[in-house]
């Protein structure tokens, strides 16, 4: 790694630099924080090792400066006056470790070797992710139903435009995949695709995430933070679950769409942004507009182009195709088959968690039965589809006159109850099986009166 070593003690600079170079690293050693800042401006470093107390510029200020210019830099702080408060401050600023003087140089070398391997692995992974994104084409989306073919055509038609897109669909239908595809097929594909989850209920946290802040804008804001809109400069920003965005934040988003500029929290001037906005919603925003939960002017701004992702239960013939796709992806190269009875059960199931739930069901089936021969129905759906909870109407054919919405709600409630029973109340595991988020599962439990007395 390329290491910047900053310490005003000459003996530490010389001996530690020598041991680091013997370990195969390249070292630039300086005697104060001001010289270190100049080196950071001139060249890129993988790691910063800095004393806390130095002339001109102290180590904490140097750490802030380094993290702003090289966000993934590995930082190790060393000091002869260690306190818990100072160590915590360093960790909050992004330091990997806090080493007290005197120390053994071998300890620093071992720390760096471990951090270096982790950093290289992370960078290789990020490079692989970018390569996958670049190679991602519309033909790789799974599904041959007429509903999905129409969606593919719509995606190809609108991808090259600069207009805002609203993707509507239930949880687990693949809205994020659609957003990624739109970006990769657009003229902005060389730019970043920044994804933001809008279900953060705290307005200040969400706005800090979106717009960033200036130093001193609030307690603890010691350095500038670049928000998601600025990070998306020249590319696309994807606002997931925009229906969860607080009404106050919606007003600021409207200004971004109208003026193409943002203001960091605590700033006194706007910053122009060149972005395309793609948003998704799991509910009909027109209902939110009528109920006063979503701004009508913002709805029309983001709904220039609307794409509807059909739920899995409405995708004619796609379930066997998706099952085979997931079997190939997760079987580890083994040839895994499915019993005809099991495939029929999968095709007849309503999949309230949509594609995500089916994906997890295939993973579970491979784990439970992938070594036993053809996969059976109980490998996918276990036993929770065979028994209804107490209180569920048992109706014979021909005497059920309930509305479809009521039937669906009853089935969904029963399914959630059974999965919670099967997982012994483990929320994370239940959400994974259902193919929905913990937040969405909480909302459905609240809707159906399935929450415990303490709301959990």
pLDDT at res. 385: 43
pLDDT at res. 386: 43
Work out the mean pLDDT of the chain and round it to a whole number: 82
Task: Encode pLDDT of 29-58 as tens digits.
Answer: 998 888 999 998 888 888 898 888 888 888
- State whether CATH 3.40.50.300 applies to domain 138-310: yes
Q: What is the CATH topology of the domain spanning 2-126?
A: Rossmann fold (3.40.50)
Angle of the 427-434 helix axis to the 438-447 helix axis, nearest 10: 90
Please, are residues 318 and 354 in contact by the beta-carbon 8 Å criterion? no
pLDDT at res. 117: 60
Equal fold, 2-126 vs 138-310:
yes
pLDDT at res. 78: 85
Domain limits of the chain?
A: 2-126, 138-310, 313-447
Between CA 163 and CA 305 the distance in angstroms is 7
Question: CATH number of the domain at 313-447, out of 1.10.10.10, 1.10.8.60, 3.30.1330.20, 1.10.3720.10?
Answer: 1.10.8.60
Task: Encode pLDDT of 133-188 as tens digits.
Answer: 444 445 557 888 889 989 988 998 898 888 999 999 999 888 998 999 999 889 99
Task: Encode pLDDT of 57-75 as tens digits.
Answer: 888 889 888 888 888 788 8
Residues 347, 349, 354, 356, Cα dihedral to 10°: -80
As a whole-number percent, the residues of the chain with pLDDT over 70 amount to: 85
pLDDT at res. 347: 86
CA 57 to chain centre: 37
Residue 324 CB-half CA count within 13 A = 7
Among residues 211, 195, 341, 212, the alpha carbon closest in space to that of 277 is found at 195
Please, are residues 182 and 229 in contact by the beta-carbon 8 Å criterion? no
Q: What is the pTM of this model?
A: 0.56
Residue 215: band (very low, low, confident or very high) from pLDDT cuts 50, 70, 90: confident
What is the DSSP code string of 274-308?
--EEEEEESS-HHHHHHTTSS-HHHHHHH-SEEEE
Which SS3 state, helix, strand or coil, does residue 104 take? coil
pLDDT at 3 over 70: yes
CA 5 to chain centre: 34
Residues, the chain: 456
Between CA 411 and CA 420 the distance in angstroms is 14
Q: Average pLDDT of 184-202? A: 87
Residue 446: band (very low, low, confident or very high) from pLDDT cuts 50, 70, 90: confident
- Candidate from 82-91, 240-249, 390-399, 443-452 with smallest mean pLDDT: 390-399
Please, are residues 205 and 218 in contact by the beta-carbon 8 Å criterion? no
CB contact set of 85 (below 8 Å; sequence gap of 6+)? none
Q: What angle do CA 295, 156, 165 make, to 5 degrees?
A: 10
pLDDT at 84 over 60: yes
pLDDT at res. 138: 54
Task: Encode pLDDT of 327-341 as tens digits.
Answer: 988 888 788 888 888
Which SS3 state, helix, strand or coil, does residue 250 take? helix
pLDDT at 356 over 80: yes
- Candidate from 119-128, 163-172, 264-273 with smallest mean pLDDT: 119-128
Between CA 47 and CA 41 the distance in angstroms is 14
What is the DSSP code string of 324-392?
HHHHHHHSTT----B-HHHHHHHHHS--TTHHHHHHHHHHHHHHHHTTSSSBPHHHHHTTTTT-PPTT-
Q: Average pLDDT of 274-303? A: 93
What is the DSSP code string of 122-165?
HHHHHHHHHHHHHH--GGGS---SHHHHHHHHHHHHHTTS-S-E
As beta bridge partners, residue 51 has: 78
pLDDT at 121 over 60: no
């Amino acid at each position: 790694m390329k290491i910047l070593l900053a310490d005003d003690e000459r003996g530490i600079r010389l001996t530690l630099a020598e041991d680091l170079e013997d370990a195969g690293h390249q070292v630039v050693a300086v005697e104060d924080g001001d010289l270190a800042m100049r080196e950071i401006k001139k060249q890129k470093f993988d790691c910063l090792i800095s004393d806390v107390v130095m002339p001109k510029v102290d180590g904490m200020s140097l750490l802030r400066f380094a993290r702003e210019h090289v966000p993934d830099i590995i930082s190790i702080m060393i000091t002869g006056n260690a306190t818990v408060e100072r160590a915590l401050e360093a960790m909050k600023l992004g330091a990997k470790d806090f080493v007290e003087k005197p120390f053994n140089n071998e300890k620093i070398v071992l720390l760096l070797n471990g951090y270096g391997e982790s950093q290289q692995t992370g960078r290789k992974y990020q490079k692989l992710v970018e390569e996958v994104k670049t190679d991602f084409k519309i033909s790789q989306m799974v599904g041959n139903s007429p509903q999905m073919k129409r969606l593919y055509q719509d995606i190809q038609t609108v991808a090259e435009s600069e207009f805002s897109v609203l993707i509507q669909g239930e949880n687990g239908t693949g809205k994020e995949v659609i957003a990624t595809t739109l970006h990769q097929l657009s003229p902005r594909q060389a730019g970043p695709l920044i994804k933001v989850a809008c279900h953060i209920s705290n307005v200040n946290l969400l706005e800090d995430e979106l717009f960033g802040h200036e130093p001193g804008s609030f307690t603890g804001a010691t350095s500038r933070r670049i928000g998601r809109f600025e990070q998306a400069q020249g590319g696309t920003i994807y606002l997931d679950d925009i229906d969860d965005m607080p009404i106050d934040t919606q007003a600021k988003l409207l200004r971004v769409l109208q003026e193409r500029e943002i203001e960091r929290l605590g700033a006194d001037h706007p910053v122009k942004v060149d972005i395309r906005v793609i948003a998704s919603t799991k509910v009909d925003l027109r209902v939110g507009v009528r109920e006063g939960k979503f701004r009508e002017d913002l709805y029309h701004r983001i709904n220039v182009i609307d794409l509807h992702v059909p739920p899995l239960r409405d995708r004619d013939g796609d379930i066997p195709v998706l099952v085979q796709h997931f079997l190939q992806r997760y079987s580890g190269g083994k040839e895994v088959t499915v019993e005809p009875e099991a495939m029929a059960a999968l095709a007849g199931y309503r999949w309230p968690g949509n594609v995500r739930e089916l994906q997890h069901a295939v993973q579970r089936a491979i784990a439970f039965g992938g070594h036993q021969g053809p996969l059976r129905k109980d490998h996918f759906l276990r036993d929770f589809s065979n028994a209804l909870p107490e209180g569920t109407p048992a109706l014979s054919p021909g005497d059920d006159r309930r509305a479809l919405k009521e039937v669906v709600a009853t089935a969904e409630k029963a399914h959630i109850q059974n999965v919670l029973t099967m997982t012994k109340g483990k929320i994370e595991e239940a959400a994974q099986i259902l193919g929905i988020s913990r937040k969405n599962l909480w909302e459905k439990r609240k809707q159906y009166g399935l929450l415990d007395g303490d709301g959990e």
